[in-house]
Amino acid sequence: MINIFLIYGIFFISFYSLLFFETIFGESNTAEYQFLTKFGGKESNDGELSTPHSIDIDKKGNVYVTDTGNDRIQKYDLDGKFILQWGEEGSEDGQFDKLHDVYVDPSGQFIYTLELANHRVQKFTYDGKFILKWGFEDTGGRGVERTPHQLSIDSNGYVYLTDKNAHQILKFDENGKFIESYGSKGSAAGEFLEPHGIVFDSNNTIYVTDMKNSRVQVFDKNFNFIRQWGSFGNGSGQFSGTSPGIDYYEKQDIVFVVDKTSTNVQVFDKDGKFISKFGSKGKQDGQFNRPEDLAIDPEGKVFVADTGNSRIQVFEK
């Protein structure tokens, strides 16, 4: 009898110690990233931002932001110091209408932009000189208007666009020649409901935020389905059906997803295991209003496009 009580005693002490340590670890994990600084503001002067939808950072530490409300791209250094800008409202070469995404190719030489209103990709030099553009007329329209929302580039220079309303991924070469489309509408593996964010890791593995399915889907470089994670909700590892932005940080092999309605950023390992999260709804430092995108700088700092607050916020560990 005594032995049995002893065993139960040890069991319960171990059990509750474990719970205790898990609570401590859980709390330190959710506060893993802290607010560092912010830049932008609601006017249209140099460096100020109006509803920025997208952000990207090249390997040298140049930060590019779609200043959507002002129809221009702005370029900053990692401290948020304004470097240059280009663009104005319109549909001519180098002009913008409803800018939605910006992406720097891995070499840092070329900047790609995506506009919802002009239905096109434009390609620029790193200092904003127009190179070329393409539309989506020759992509097998499927009876649905093409509505690309984000783009990403693999290490071979191919450009991939998420087509939100046609529930597909489109692949082009670096000069805009259409190559292939992937996926169809649905919730099975490899199907999409409003795909939005897209990013590649260092092995050209593809990660897509499949928004209305509240999940991230992962594909190999030939677009074979590998795995998925996430479910509907606002808990850890869940998505609210509005997760527009995703990025990958090579040095730590981790994936970041921003959620517009849950107003947070979640951090996962490459297999989709939840690591931590930060952010809540509001205007204070560290809070968000309808955040649409994020980018990771070479040292692992997280830059969030806090779209509704017309600013970029920077977080560090």
Q: How many residues does the chain have?
A: 317
Task: Count CB atoms within 10 A of the CB of residue 214.
Answer: 20
**Which one-letter DSSP state was computed for residue 215?**
E
To Zn ion, the closest distance from the beta carbon of 14 in angstroms equals 49
For Zn ion, which stretch binds (CB under 5 A), given 147-155, 201-209, 250-258, 302-310?
A: 147-155
- In order of 167, 195, 217, 293, 312, the CA distances from 210 in angstroms are 9, 4, 7, 14, 24
> Which residue stretches of the chain are H helix?
2-30
- Cα–Cα dist 209/235, whole Å: 17
Residues between 81 and 120 that touch Zn ion (CB under 5 A): none
Q: Which stretch binds Zn ion (CB under 5 A): 120-128, 149-157, 213-221, 224-232?
A: 149-157
Of 149 and 277, nearer to Zn ion (C-beta) is 149
Nearer to Zn ion, 48 or 292 (CB): 292
CB closer to Zn ion, 72 vs 149: 149
Closest separation in Å from C-beta 21 to Zn ion: 41
Q: Please, what is the minimum distance in Å from the beta carbon of residue 150 to Zn ion?
A: 7
Phi and psi at residue 228, to the nearest 5° = -150, 160
Q: How big is the CA angle at 159 (ends 223 and 169), to the nearest 5 degrees? A: 45
Radius of gyration of the chain from Cα atoms?
Answer: 21
Instruction: Choose one: 60-68, 76-84, 143-151, 269-277; the region binding Zn ion (CB under 5 A).
Output: 143-151
Closest by CA position to 314, among listed 14, 93, 1, 34: 34
Alpha helices in 98-219 (DSSP H): none
Closer to Zn ion at the Cβ: 47 or 245? 245
User: Which of 112, 90, 114, 82 has the alpha carbon at shortest distance from 100?
Assistant: 114
Tokens of 83: 């470097």
State which residue, 149 or 215, has the beta carbon closest to Zn ion: 149
CB of 244 to Zn ion, least distance (A): 5
Nearer to Zn ion, 75 or 149 (CB): 149
Is residue 260 a contact point for Zn ion (CB under 5 A)?
no
User: Interface with Zn ion by CB under 5 A: which range of 71-79, 123-131, 141-149, 171-179?
Assistant: 141-149
Q: Which stretch binds Zn ion (CB under 5 A): 9-17, 38-46, 131-139, 145-153?
A: 145-153
Q: What are residue 56's DSSP bridge partners?
A: 64
Q: Which stretch binds Zn ion (CB under 5 A): 28-36, 131-139, 142-150, 220-228?
A: 142-150
Nearer to Zn ion, 194 or 301 (CB): 194
CA-to-CA dists, residue 167 to 170, 184, 197, 286, angstroms: 10, 6, 12, 33
Q: Which of 72, 146, 149, 167 binds Zn ion (CB under 5 A)?
A: 149
Position of minimal CB gap to Zn ion: 149
Distances (CA, A) of 102 to 2, 18, 38, 98: 69, 45, 19, 12
Nearer Cβ to Zn ion (149/212):
149
3-state DSSP call for residue 29?
helix
Q: In whole angstroms, how close is the CB of 121 to Zn ion at the nearest point?
A: 15
Which lies closer to Zn ion via its Cβ, residue 194 or residue 276? 194
- Give the binding site for Zn ion (CB under 5 A): 149
